[in-house]
Amino acid sequence: MFRLDGRRALVTGAGTGIGRAIALGFAAVGADLVLLSERDDLSEVTEQAQAIGARASAVQFDLLDTAGRPAFIESLFDSHDIDILVNNAGVIRRAPAETFSDGDWYEVMEVNAHAAFHFARTAGARMLQRGGGKIINIASVLSFQGGMFVPSYAASKHAIGGLTKALANEWAGRGINVNAIAPGYVETAVTADLRGDLRRRAEITARIPAGRWATPDDLVGAAVFLASDAAAYVHGHILVVDGGWLCR
């Protein structure tokens, strides 16, 4: 039930961190891959996926290119039959709300929310034509909380939660599973500055019942589950993978 043989997954933000781990996790259970990144070199992860036995191709595109993005996404789905979309690409900007710049607000919303919708819209349209598919959005524990000093990130991840439920309402009866994964605090480049603040790192770690931050590999099982036939009756769910953070 958890195999993905014969299916092709598009993973955005696949060069590092959570996206990379999910892509390789998919490859390990039989999926072929289309790997997308803005700036990260995808050659290593592509070679690793191919060594596992997956067919894997890499695509570079700047998701902040709002003028070129619609045509790029259409072309990407024209070139590849996508069975599984993982909307993982994301950015974060940190500053006190009273000094948070318009540029940082719009840049984060553009990548994390608007681009995710554009990918999901196109994927959904193609999946409806083909009889079904899986869409997995990467949300956050800040889809439920506000966080500190990250107003645009919190807003964008609340948007992802709402988008996941809205699309599931429309597409669940038409063969498409739309769900999300909400990671807690994960050791990735996105959290490097936060982890570099030793006081904040210690405060956060002390509040996690599991006693540690996640690694990207901790998200792989949840992604494989939601992409597989094992989750055939799971729709509009935000699967929290946070070491118990939201329980405390």
Mean pLDDT along residues 35-64 = 96
Q: How far is CA 99 from CA 86, 102, 105, 149, 151, in A?
A: 33, 9, 11, 10, 11
For position 39, what pLDDT does the model report?
86
- Give me the residue label for tokens 């490097």: 192
Catalytic annotation on 233?
A: no
Mean pLDDT rounded to a whole number for the chain: 97
The domains found in the chain, sorted by start residue, are 8-247 (3.40.50.720)
Q: In this structure, what are the phi and psi dihedrals at residue 238, rounded to the nearest 5 degrees?
A: -110, 105
Mean pLDDT along residues 157-180 = 98
Q: What percent of the chain has pLDDT over 70?
A: 100
Choose the weakest-confidence range: 161-170, 185-194, 233-242: 185-194
Using N-to-C axis directions, what is the helix angle for 69-79 and 115-130, rounded to 10°? 30
